[in-house]
Structure 1
C-alpha cells in the first residue's frame, strides 16, 4: 500500500495537482462518492471498485495539498475508533461516509485526519461487503490513471478525452 501511495503522489506532482486548491479535491471526492452510491444501488461491483479506488486517489492528493500525512489518517482506521452502529451495513457506511465528507468540506483544517480515517474505514467496509479490499481498488485506480494525459482546468485535472 505504501508503494502505491507513493506512486500516486508522484503522479499528482507530475501533473501539478499537489499544489492546487484542496477545495476542488473535496468536490472530486463528492463526485466519486456519488458514483460509489450509484454502484451500490445498482449492485455494480465494477463501479464500486472503481469508485473506492478513485476516492482513495482523491484523498491522497487532498493530503498532499493540505500537507497531511496520509499514513496518519490510515493508521486510525480499524482501531475501533468508530462506533459499530455507524458501520453495521453498507447503507450505514455510506451515510457515515457522507457525514465525514461534509465535515471535511465544512471544516477542512479542524481534524482532517479523523474525517479521512472515517471515510477510509467506511469505504473499506463497503468494499468488504462486495469482497473488495481498499488496496485492490486503489491498485486498479492507479493502473487506470498512471499513463493518463490531460491538463489542469480551473484547478482540476481533466483527462485528455474529456477536454473539449
Structure 2
C-alpha cells in the first residue's frame, strides 16, 4: 500500500495538485463518495471498486495538501476507535455513549 500511495502523491505533484486549495479537493472527495453511493444503490460491483479507489486517491491528495500522510491519518483514527465499546444496530456501529444517551 505504501508504494501505491507514493505513486498517487507523485502523480498529484506532477499535476500540481499538492499545491492546490484543499477545499477544492474536498469537493472531489464528496463527488467520489457520491459515486460509491450510486454504485451501492445500483449493486454495481465494478463501479463500487472504482469508486472506493477514487475516494482513497482523493483522500491521499487531501492529506498531502495539508502536510499529512494517509498513514498518519488512519493510525490516528484507529487509535481513537480501537478500544471503543458499543454495538452494531441495523448494520451501523453505535458508540456506547450514544446508546446510553
TM interval, short-chain normalised = 0.7 to 0.9
Distance in 2 (CA, whole Å) between partners of 1:78 and 1:2 is 17
Matches within 5 A, 1:54-69: 54-69=54-69
Considering Cα pairs closer than 8 Å and 6+ residues apart, tell me whether 1 or 2 has the greater RCO.
Answer: 1
Structure 1 segments of 4+ aligned residues over 3 angstroms from their partners: 76-80, 82-86
**Number of residue pairs matched by the alignment:** 90
Instruction: Quote the residue 2:99 is aligned against.
Output: none
Q: Which runs of 5+ in 1 are unaligned?
A: 94-164
Could you tell me the TM-score, scaled by structure 2's length?
0.78
Structure 2 residue 36 is matched with structure 1 residue 36: yes
Match of 1:85 among 83, 88, 91: 88
Could you tell me the TM-score, scaled by structure 1's length?
0.49
Q: CA deviation at 1:85?
A: 3.2
Distance in 2 (CA, whole Å) between partners of 1:33 and 1:44 is 14
Q: Which runs of 5+ in 2 are unaligned?
A: 94-101
Give 3-state SS (helix, strand or coil) of 2:39's partner: helix
Give 3-state SS (helix, strand or coil) of 1:75's partner: helix
Q: Choose 1 or 2 for highest CA Rg.
A: 2
1:75-112 per-residue CA deviation (whole Å, 9 max, x = no partner) reads 245567065538x63xx48xxxxxxxxxxxxxxxxxxx
Distance in 2 (CA, whole Å) between partners of 1:20 and 1:6 is 18
